[in-house]
Structure 1
Amino acid sequence: MTDINARIDAEVKSADVVVFMKGTPQFPMCGFSGQVSQILGFLGVPWKGVNVLEDMEIREGIKAYSNWPTIPQLYVKGEFIGGCDITREMFQAGELQALFEEKGISVKQAS
């Protein structure tokens, strides 16, 4: 495993829910990262954001790590789930909430 892959692997495993994104959870720097932030915030899921704009090695390396060309990228318990479109579609279908519950991650119930 290369050094960048080892760093990315450590980030992926550093929290139950990790998003490689442009910007931070509090200040997303693109609309797609913002959508994923909003979805996770709405669900009340604790998560960690990794700002790819701060590190070009991670920005490029994450694409090879996941074999996925775009950012943001959502990981749950170390497993790559997908980008913004997949996250949004899973959320709208209730599949994202079910995945979190299946993995033992508590989700705030929508009223």
Structure 2
Amino acid sequence: MNTITDSAVFERIRQDIADNSVVLYMKGTPIFPQCGFSAAVVQILTHLGVKFKGIDILQDPELRQGIKEFSSWPTIPQLYVKGEFVGGCDIVREMFETGELSEALSSRGIDVRA
């Protein structure tokens, strides 16, 4: 990738995470996830009643690579809350199981189903 593309992709990512309180970069869509890890995070967010924007990285090879460079995180899915990178599937699942995810979302003003 060249720096012009990088900056355009990074700008788009910054815009998405600025415009939406909760963003999930994933394979597929929230309705039709294309991998088990993406499906697991969608299921957790849905269980918590969290409204989020799902962004399908499979539709855009530049975004698929760009989001990994943006976050310095090698895998998809990636969850962002209020512009801050939370983690991938394993981290989100672990945080959900300990109750830490609900607390993190609530403390940032995101409505969570009890």
SS of residue in 2 equivalent to 1:2:
helix
Structure 1: 4+ residue segments shifted above 2 A: none
How many residues in Structure 1 have an aligned counterpart in Structure 2? 109
Q: Tell me the TM-score normalised to structure 1 length.
A: 0.96
Q: CA deviation at 1:82?
A: 0.3
- Give the drift of 1:70: 0.2
**Once superposed, what is the RMSD of the aligned Cα atoms?**
0.9
* Selected match of 2:41 from 36, 39, 47: 36
Deviation at 1:13, TM superposition (A): 1.6
User: Structure 1 CA distance, aligned partners of 2:53 and 2:76?
Assistant: 15
Q: Secondary structure at the match of 2:105?
A: helix
3-state SS of paired residue (2:85): strand
Looking at structure 2, the residues matched to 32 and 55 of structure 1 have their Cα atoms a distance apart, in angstroms, of: 19
Deviation at 1:65, TM superposition (A): 0.2
CA distance in 2, matches of 1:14, 1:49: 13
Counterpart of 2:102 in structure 1 is 97
Distance in 2, matches of 1:14 and 1:27, equals 23
1:1-111 equivalence runs, <5 A: 2-109=7-114
TM-score, normalised to structure 2, is 0.93
